[in-house]
Amino acid sequence: MSLPALEEILERSHVVSLPLSVRFRGVNHREALLIDGPAGWGEFSPFLEYGAQESSRWLACAIEAAWDGLPAPVRASVPVNATVPAVAPSAVERVLARYDGPGTVKVKVAEKGQRLPDDVARVAAVRAALPGARLRIDANQGWDHDQALAALEALEPFGLEYAEQPVPEIEGLARLREELARRGLGIKIAADESVRKESDPLAVARAGAADLIVVKAQPLGGVRNALRIVREAGLPAVVSSALDTSIGLRIGAGLAAALPELPFACGLGTGSLFEVDVASPAYVAVGGELDLRRVVADPELLQLHRASPERERWWRDRTAGAHAALLSRRG
The catalytic site residues sit at: 108, 216
Task: Kindly give the interhelix angle for 170-182 and 145-155, rounded to the nearest 10 degrees.
Answer: 50
Residue type, 115: R
Q: How many residues does the chain have?
A: 331
Q: Which of 96, 26, 77, 143 is nearest to 273 (CA)?
A: 96
Alpha-carbon span 318 to 51, nearest angstrom: 9
Alpha-carbon span 237 to 229, nearest angstrom: 10
Instruction: Give the distance, in angstroms, between the CA of residue 66 and the centroid of all CA atoms in the same chain.
Output: 19
In whole angstroms, how far apart are CA 65 and each of 93, 173, 254?
35, 32, 10
Alpha-carbon span 273 to 285, nearest angstrom: 12
Alpha-carbon span 77 to 201, nearest angstrom: 27
Q: Which of 48, 47, 50, 125 is nearest to 86 (CA)?
A: 125
* Pairing, β 189-191 against β 212-216: parallel
* Beta carbons within 8 Å of 114's beta carbon, 6+ residues apart: 86
Residue type, 154: A
Q: What are phi and psi of 108, to 5 degrees?
A: -75, 135
Q: Is 203 helix (H, G, I), strand (E, B) or coil?
A: helix
* Beta carbons within 8 Å of 184's beta carbon, 6+ residues apart: none
